[in-house]
């Protein structure tokens, strides 16, 4: 979990520094990658996803710190089925930590990926590696609970069934 989180934070912070270096200030300048679909630009977000909780720095720092503490504290409870869940939790934690670093140091998150469809009227909010990691980590944890949670339940049911058989055999003696 911790290795995945560290890798995400490093990649996130490096790409954000590259965006700031390339664009210097949010000026509307952009680099078109796929015309009508994807570009790089620089946006400072003082809120959370889709701009909610604007200028609520302390609230966002507190929520992020609490979520990181929760992930570390409960990691053994929801990362009980192996490496896949540990990596997923690490990706999630790395995303949270990456944006937390920005909020603590500058009060705002640096975003630079911009997807849109033909015009800016059909635009997805600008985001960064940390935002992507949060979404991917949550999706992978959810997926693992669906897939691995079913296996864990089946294994627990099998153990319970074996215990019942053993109890019945002892009762018959």
Whether residue 14 contacts residue 7, with contact meaning beta carbons closer than 8 Å, is answered with no
Q: Strand 30-34's sheet: what is its strand order? A: 30-34, 38-45, 109-117, 119-123
Q: Exactly one of 102, 111, 121, 157 is catalytic; name it.
A: 111
Query: Is 102 a catalytic site residue?
Result: no
CA 79 remoteness from chain centre: 15
Angle subtended at Cα 163 by Cα 162 and Cα 164, rounded to the nearest 5 degrees: 90
Q: Exactly one of 29, 81, 131, 167 is catalytic; name it.
A: 131
User: Which DSSP category does 127 fall into?
Assistant: B
Whether residue 115 contacts residue 41, with contact meaning beta carbons closer than 8 Å, is answered with no
Non-local (6+) Cβ contacts of 46 within 8 A are 54, 55, 57, 107, 108, 109
Query: Is 131 a catalytic site residue?
Result: yes
Whether residue 43 contacts residue 126, with contact meaning beta carbons closer than 8 Å, is answered with yes
Catalytic residue numbers, as ranges:
111, 131
């Amino acid at each position: 979990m911790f290795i995945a989180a560290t890798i995400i934070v490093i990649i996130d912070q490096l790409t954000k520094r590259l965006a700031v270096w390339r664009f210097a200030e949010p000026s509307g300048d952009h680099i078109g990658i796929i015309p009508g679909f994807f570009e790089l630009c620089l946006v400072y977000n003082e809120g959370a996803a889709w701009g909610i909780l604007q200028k609520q720095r302390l609230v966002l720092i507190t929520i992020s710190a609490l979520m990181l503490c929760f992930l570390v504290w409960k990691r053994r409870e929801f990362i009980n089925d192996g490496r896949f869940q540990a990596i997923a939790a690490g990706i999630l934690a790395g995303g949270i930590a990456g944006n937390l670093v920005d909020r603590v140091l500058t009060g705002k998150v640096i975003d630079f990926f911009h997807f849109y469809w033909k015009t800016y009227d059909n635009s997805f909010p600008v985001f960064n590696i940390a935002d992507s990691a949060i979404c991917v980590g949550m999706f992978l944890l959810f997926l693992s609970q669906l897939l691995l949670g079913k296996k864990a339940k089946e294994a627990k049911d099998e153990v319970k069934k074996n215990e019942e058989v053993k109890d019945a055999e002892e009762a018959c003696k």
